[in-house]
Amino acid sequence: MTFSGEASIIVPSRGGALRLPILLSALSRQDSDDFEVIVVVDGDIDNSAGVLRRLTVEHPAMALRTIVFPENRGRAAALNAGAAAAQGRVLIRSDDDLEPSPNYVRCHVSQHQGELAGVVGMCRNVFPETAYARVYGRAADERFRSDALATNHNDQWRYWAGNVSVLKEVHERLGGYDERYRAYGWEDVDFGYRLKKMGIPVRIHPSLTTAHHVAATTTGVRAIRALHSGAAREIFVAKHGPEPLAASPQGPSLWSTLVAMASAIATERTIKAGGSAIDVAAAVLPGRLAEKLVALVVESAGRAGIAHPHRARTHF
């Protein structure tokens, strides 16, 4: 199928063979058909390419193209490759674990009819029934979205992530995503901050909130991602300085001391072991105590990534 060039949906994917059918099925039900989908497989570790060939046949009305990297190059490189191949006026980034509503493409495109802007849609995490989700994940997700919507417009660039859109011409002027970000995250926050520096407003649009089949379903997985995010944060600080991330100073507390102590010994191995133990214990612990233990593992892992970025070893 061809399209007139209104929108290109860029999907970076690694290990997405089970996630991509849900995303592409949702995209096949859009109330607009003036878009193409470009899936960039960042090293095929699970026959995603074969799944995409099948999905191309299952959805013949969708303009679907696939780019397959022979090896892992990182999410930023995948996003840039998809953007370079895109023919659309509006570039929509959709991570491979989203399940968009039928008006997803139309709503993104509608935000790009006036002034230049970066558009952010929030993600509403869909959790399986796990100990992590019950004692920590669902409540943390609600707080995150509530805090985002309450954020001053000048700081909404911080929420640039996996459900966003920008004009292709703006993406090209910005030079795309910075491919030095190879750990988990921060290529997106970096992009949002550079939009702000360019003078292009970044705005969160609640109507674009989209279901997200979250990968972090256990304490260990969530904490490993916090470790990698902390490591990637240091690339941002080296580029832009600490000022964009400045927060109100807080004095020492028992909690900050506990986080610091736990971060000193946090590695991928200890994080996985500790996370598994807490998930088992959460079945019998009081809810508030279980929540605090999960928070301790997650926050100390993030701090360890900042202080010891070499501890983040897994590729995403």
Same domain, 159 and 251: no
Domain boundary (188, 217, 246) is at 217
- Domain of residue 259: give its range: 221-311
- Do the domain assignments include residue 316? no
Domain boundary among 217, 239, 271: 217
Same domain (yes/no): 248, 207: no
SS3 state at 24: helix
Task: For 295-307, write each residue's pLDDT tens digit.
Answer: 999 999 999 999 9
Give the pLDDT confidence of 184-200 residue by residue, as tens digits: 889 999 999 999 999 99
Q: What is the pLDDT of residues 38-90, one digit of tens each?
A: 999 999 999 999 999 999 999 999 999 999 999 999 999 999 999 999 999 99
Rounded Cα distance between 83 and 92, Å, is 9
Same domain? 105 vs 178 = yes
Residues 187 and 225 both lie in one domain: no
Beta strands in the chain, from DSSP E residues, in sequence order: 7-13, 35-42, 63-69, 90-94, 98-99, 118-120, 123-126, 163-167, 202-204, 210-213
Query: In the prediction, which pLDDT does 316 show?
Result: 61
The answer as to whether 50 is a domain residue is: yes
Are 114 and 180 part of one and the same domain?
yes
Residues 164 and 287 in one domain: no
Q: In percent, how much of the chain has pLDDT > 70?
A: 97
Q: How many domains does the chain have?
A: 2
Query: Which of 217, 237, 262 is at the close of a domain?
Result: 217
Confidence grade of residue 310 (pLDDT, cut at 50, 70, 90): confident
* 194 belongs to a structural domain: yes
| Average pLDDT score over residue span 115-122 | 95
Inter-helix orientation angle 254-264/287-307, to 10°: 60
Tell me, yes or no, whether 69 and 138 share the same domain: yes
- Does residue 291 share a domain with residue 192? no
- The two structure tokens encoding residue 95: 């991570």
- Band of residue 5 on the pLDDT scale cut at 50, 70, 90: confident
Asked if residue 128 belongs to a domain, the reply is: yes
Strand runs (DSSP E) across 44-95, as ranges? 63-69, 90-94
> Residue 1: inside a domain, yes or no?
no
Instruction: Assess whether 277 and 156 both reside in one domain.
Output: no
The answer to whether residue 45 sits within a structural domain is yes
Q: What is the pLDDT of residues 13-41, one digit of tens each?
A: 999 999 999 999 999 999 999 999 999 99
The answer on 203 and 68 residing in a single domain is yes
Task: Look at residue 2 and tell me if it is in a domain.
Answer: no
CA dihedral of 16, 21, 26, 32, whole degrees rounded to 10: 90
Q: What is the DSSP letter of 18?
A: T
Claim to verify: residue 87 and residue 192 sit in the same structural domain: yes
Residue 114: CATH number of its domain? 3.90.550.10
**Of 295, 285, 234, residue with least CA distance to 262:** 295
Same domain, yes or no: 200 and 232? no
pLDDT at residue number 114: 86
